[in-house]
Every structure is written in C-alpha cells, then in structure tokens.
Amino acid sequence: MRRGDSYAPVFARGARIPPREVTRPPDASDEDDEYGPSVGPYSSRSRLAHTPARGRPPAPPQLLCAPVPTLLDKRLIFVTGKGGVGKSTVATALGLLAARRGLRTVVAELSSQERVQRLFGHKGEHFQEVELAPGLFTISIDPEHAMDEYLRVKIGPLGQALGSSRLFQAFAMATPGMRELLSIGKVWELAQLHRRTRGGGAYDLVIVDSPATGHGVGLLRTPRTFAEIARVGPIAHQGRTIAATIADRDFTGVVAVATPEEMPVNETLSLRDSLEQEQLALDLVVLNALYPVRFDEQEVLELEGALSRSRSRLSRSALRAALSEHARARTQREQRARLSEGVDGRLIELPFVFADHVGPDELEVLVRVLEDRLAMPAKGPR
C-alpha cells in the first residue's frame, strides 16, 4: 500500500513548520516524507478560505514578534471543563459564531449524548455529520464506529472482517485508552484537509466538546501515551502524529469552561497546570453562568431593613430571593477574581441564562456575547 493512501497523517510535521511567516510551498501535498505528505496548517486552511486571516482586521500589535493567531484562527479547539458547567453549550455557541464568520465548522461530541443536536431540536443521529445551521455541522463520535471506520480505511476488507469479529471488538474496546485513542483519531481525521471519510468535506474548524476533565488532560495525552507504549508500528505512528497536531499551538487550542464556583475554578486551575506539564496551554477560559449583580451595598441594606419589617408573605419571599441571589453573586465574584488571577485575565464571561433550558434563543444571546468578548484584545501574556 502506498503511504499516501493509508489513514496516515497529513499533518505529521505541522508542528515543526514555523508558523505564518513561512511562505507556503506551492503544492505541499506532493511532498511525501516518511510520515506522508507534509502540509502545514496554514497552507491547508488557505485552500478553504483564500485569505488566511479571512477578511478580519489584522491583530493588534503584540510585544512578541510572532503574530498571535486568535482563537478562531485555529483549526482544532478542545472545549473542556468539569461536568455540568455548560461545555456543550459553549462549544455550540463558539461553533455558531465561527460558522457565521464563514468558517465551515463541525462540533464533535465524544460523549454519545448528542447534546449539540438536541440544542437545535434534532434527534440523536449517530456518527453522522449533521448540518445544524448554515456552515455548522455536528457529529457524535463513539469509539466503536471510529474503529470500524479506521479499520476499513486502513486495511480494507480484512479490516472490515476484523471489525465485525466480536473477539476483536471486545479486545480493542477493553484495551485501556483505546476508546480515547479511536475517538481522538476521528477528531483528528475531521481536521484533515483530505478527509478519509467518503464524501466528507474539509472543515475550517473542528470544535471538540470534550468529556469531563476530572483533573487531567487524559484525552489530550492519550495519543502520546500510545506512541510511548507501542514505540513502533502504525499505532505508535498514529499516536505520534496526533500528538504532534495537538502540540502545535497554532493549529490546536484548548478552551476551558468553568462556572464561578469553588470546584470548577479549582479544576480549571489544575487543568492549567497539567496542560503546562504536557507543554500545552489554555488559550481561553470561558466563565459561564455568571449571575448579574443587581443591587449595590446600599440597596442590600435597604432590602435587609425591608425584610425585617415586612410581614407580607410575598414581599418577604421576594426580598429573601433578592438577598439570596445577591449572596451567590457575591461569592461568584470572589471565584471570578481567583480564576482571573490564575489565568492572567484570559477570561471571558457569559451571563447566567434564566430559562427553562438553553434553546436556540438563549444560544443566540450567548453567541452575541461571545462575539463581543472575543473581539476585545485578550489581556495578559499568552
């Protein structure tokens, strides 16, 4: 089998190509090396959208000499965070924003829950790229399907036979980390210019709605782990390739979502640390579900006074609710300060949504806020 035909990496050497200022080779895909055709991330992007900066005003001058691509200039974004903080919502809002800027975008879910589809009122479609809005797609990735596809593409009919072998299925799914490797392998495939999936169009941006972090960076580490265990052979190779793609910070970004509460903030800060250990970094923190501050301290005193005097049940309930929310808003501000300090201010805020659930209207609000906040130059060192 010719290397170029395999499931082999397109971006194996992406990490080693100096970003941006390097002129793109005229047709990089003809240039084969041991890992397969080496195509830098920007060259591939320019095939989709003809101007790399895509018509946006140039970034504000930076102290560092290299131009810093903004978040949506990346090609692969992992949205991560503790369970229940709104990762799917943020990933989808980000996707919608990107799609409206003309980027063909896919939001990939790894939890087999099809939350993104349901935000748009779709029923759960499995392992299919579904178009939710103009330019916005989603796919729900599960390791079983990812393995079938991988085997089919990689070793043809034998692979297909292997995939349908129950024994092999059981082995592969039980092998620790294999599920993660297969899932992230599919994510990586989505981010390729030349898609291996039959009929799969190229994407400008892949946003991954990652599983809950726990403490580590498990998913992001998996490819490297496999490369280390397997050392040689296709799995090691695949692992290294994906690891290189993840390590390329111009190509891959990590967004953490947190709510302004003790635990999610802790988790984000420890995520920051474990990313650092992997030579990765947080590109952005989205602080989600921030309560409004409705009352100033003088007003709070008035409310407390009124509560002590009032005897009407309704008035008392309303005053209590106001004071209670204020107390929460205040502790939220403390958590925000702690988080902001921990991430050098690379933080944008989304408001708490007072609604039955997040549907298209609420999503719209979040997209608008996100757009405003992303337009502001990021504070602090990168």
Positions in 142-171 near other proteins (CB under 8 A):
151, 154-155, 158-159, 161-162, 165, 167-168, 170-171
Show the binding pattern over residues 279-318: x = contacts other proteins (CB under 8 A), - = does not.
---------------xx---x--xx--x--xx-xxxxxxx
Name 258's Cβ contacts closer than 8 Å, sequence gap at least 6.
81, 82, 85, 264, 265, 267, 268, 285, 286, 287, 288, 339
Written as one letter, the residue type at 136 is: L
Residues 186-215 that bind other proteins (CB under 8 A): 211-215
Written as one letter, the residue type at 149 is: E
2 lies in the site for other proteins, by CB under 8 A: no
102 lies in the site for other proteins, by CB under 8 A: no
Cite the DSSP H helix spans in the chain.
Answer: 41-48, 87-100, 115-119, 143-163, 166-174, 178-190, 218-230, 234-247, 262-277, 297-309, 313-342, 360-375
100 lies in the site for other proteins, by CB under 8 A: no
CB of 65 to other proteins, least distance (A): 36
Three-state secondary structure call for residue 337 = helix
Residues 14-33 that bind other proteins (CB under 8 A): none
Q: How far is CA 130 from CA 34, 118, 133, 199, in A?
A: 35, 12, 9, 13
320 lies in the site for other proteins, by CB under 8 A: yes
* Contact residue for other proteins among 111, 274, 281, 290 (CB under 8 A): 111
Q: How far is CA 78 from CA 315, 340, 372, 382, in A?
A: 46, 20, 21, 17
Residues 75-94 that bind other proteins (CB under 8 A): 82-85
104 vs 154, beta carbon nearer other proteins: 154
271 lies in the site for other proteins, by CB under 8 A: no
103 vs 319, beta carbon nearer other proteins: 319
222 lies in the site for other proteins, by CB under 8 A: yes
Residues 337-356 that bind other proteins (CB under 8 A): 354-356
Rounded CA gap, 265 and 10, in Å? 37
